[in-house]
Amino acid sequence: MDTREILAAVKAEVSRLNKVVALLEGGAATTTSPTPAASSTAPKKKPHKWTAAEKQAMSIKQKALWAAKKKQKKG
pLDDT of residue 2: 85
pLDDT (tens, 9 = 90+) of the chain, 75 residues, equals: 788 888 888 999 899 999 888 888 886 555 555 555 555 677 888 888 999 999 999 999 999 999 999 999 887
Alpha-carbon distances of 42 from 31, 36, 38, 47, 74, rounded to whole Å: 16, 10, 6, 15, 52
**69 vs 72: CA distance, rounded Å:** 5
Is the alpha carbon torsion for 17, 14, 12, 30 positive or negative?
positive
Closest CA to 42 of 29, 53, 33, 31: 33
Write down the domain spans for the chain.
3-34+51-74
